[in-house]
Structure 1
Amino acid sequence: MNIIMPRFGIKRKTTEVRRCYSLGMKGFEIGSHVGDKSLDHSDFWPLYKVCEELSVVLFVHPWDMHMWDGRLQKYWMPWLVGMPSETAQAICSVLMGNILVMFPKLRFCFAHGGGSYPIIRGRVSHGWNVRPDLCAMDCHVAPNQLDGLLWTDSLVHDAAALELLISTVGKNHIVLGTDYPFPLGELEVGKVVEEYQPFSALDRENLLWKNAIQMLDLDENTLFDKSF
């Protein structure tokens, strides 16, 4: 369920979160921005406060990507290049916008392995250090000290990318991603996780389902019928 849409006010969104939580929902999907407001915008802070209070997850999926004045129109680039870039922008807004400092128990899970953020992580941290006048305006904690608080899905399509993601957010903060039913999803769900050689059997089990149980703060025993 997507709860950040421009047509609804923030008070209605927080009310809807509480209503859905009372029905058993443990997480909500949001976009990577609303119009010209990125995820660090103060308009969203009341929503974050409620989500932190209720211990629900915000799953961030990129949308409404910038088309770079038309240069992304060919070769399906809005989805191949634009989406990962959009997700990285959302992550940087959260990290440098002080969101995880103000709401330390808030859990964001970013789609597609965090997009292009893992590969630019060092660049972002370097920029924060050398241009604090531009990058450290709102948060005095270095981004690379906070990105271990992020969650992502595992949908990266390749073992090298998965290894980089592990070094960025940690293997305990990655949950299985499918992107079902869209064509950029894994054709064989979980294949990259299952074939990643450095993983132990426990690591695979964690990424395939146990990490999600932890992220969503679920009681495993409520997910099946013991009489089945």
Structure 2
Amino acid sequence: MRQIQKCSSFQEVRRCYSLGMRGFEIGSHIGEKSLDHKDFWPLYKVCEELSVVLFVHPWDMHMWDGRLQKYWMPWLVGMPSETAQAICSVLMGNILVLFPNLRFCFAHGGGSYPIIRGRVSHGWNVRPDLCAGDCQVAPNQLDGKLWTDSLVHDPVALELLINTVGKDHIVLGTDYPFPLGELEVGKVVEEYKPFSSKDRQNLLWDNAVKMLGLEENSLFAKDF
């Protein structure tokens, strides 16, 4: 994947697509602009047209007036919160309605979003004046359009994620080469007892092939 730092670089998406790239990494925001901002819509239009994936990784987390300075909390607390904010912006910002074929994949199992999913939907229902101004579709009705990676470190969290986005919309996440990545890549998926062998194959390989729209035979050489 190639990182996109500015929305005006959607021309670069076309160039990279012509070179065979099918996914691009973006941040969870740019400055004060969340992912629902109209400045990003030309990028979304091109990505939808080309059927490429936008992988969203949290960055530039708010420090909560300095209260996240200790205990590595920007990474432990700030990153999951930042990802949840990005997802809520996409859902309530009408992005998945305006661009129904656009595929976002969110890092770290969607961050904090799975655990606050019910709270977000409840807020949308009871305070539509504040939450439903841009989108008339309830956030939880759009959950199945989200993709995430599997990097949640905990089988309980994995089960919650499955119940949120569906096991067919989760791809293997590694966070390589950073220390918060899995020490044994795929271990949580492989040891999750409710999974069938087919489920494990999907999360470890097949779902990513599907998400990126790849021809599986092109990913390896049979005479290797």
TM-score normalised according to structure 1 size: 0.97
Paired residues in the alignment total 223
What do you get for the CA RMSD once the two structures are aligned? 0.6
Distance 2:194 2:122 in 1: 29
Q: Please list, as runs of the form range in 1=range in 2, the aligned pairs for 1:22-101 lying within 5 A after superposition.
A: 22-101=18-97
Distance 1:148 1:123 in 2: 17
Question: Partner letter of residue 54 of structure 1?
Answer: L
Q: Please list, as runs of the form range in 1=range in 2, the aligned pairs for 1:52-201 lying within 5 A after superposition.
A: 52-201=48-197
Find the counterpart in structure 2 of residue 221 from structure 1.
217
Cα shift readout 1:162-206 (whole Å, capped 9, x = no counterpart): 000000000000000000000000000000000000000000000
State, as a whole percentage, how many aligned pairs show the same letter: 85
Cα shift readout 1:114-147 (whole Å, capped 9, x = no counterpart): 0000000000000000000000000000000001
**Among 193, 199, 208, the residue aligned to 1:212:** 208
Distance 2:58 2:112 in 1: 12
* TM-fit CA distance, 1:109: 0.1
Question: Partner letter of residue 125 of structure 1?
Answer: S
Distance 1:14 1:68 in 2: 32
Question: Partner letter of residue 162 of structure 2?
Answer: I
Look up the SS of the partner of 1:29 in the other structure: strand
Q: Which runs of 5+ in 1 are unaligned?
A: none
Find the counterpart in structure 2 of residue 2 from structure 1.
3
Distance 2:85 2:76 in 1: 15
* TM-fit CA distance, 1:225: 1.1
Look up the SS of the partner of 1:69 in the other structure: helix
Task: Tell me whether 1:19 sits opposite 2:15 in the alignment.
Answer: yes
Cα shift readout 1:36-94 (whole Å, capped 9, x = no counterpart): 00000000000000000000000000000000000000000000000000000000000
Following TM superposition, where does structure 1 have runs of at least 4 consecutive aligned residues deviating by more than 4 angstroms? Answer: none
Q: Which runs of 5+ in 2 are unaligned?
A: none
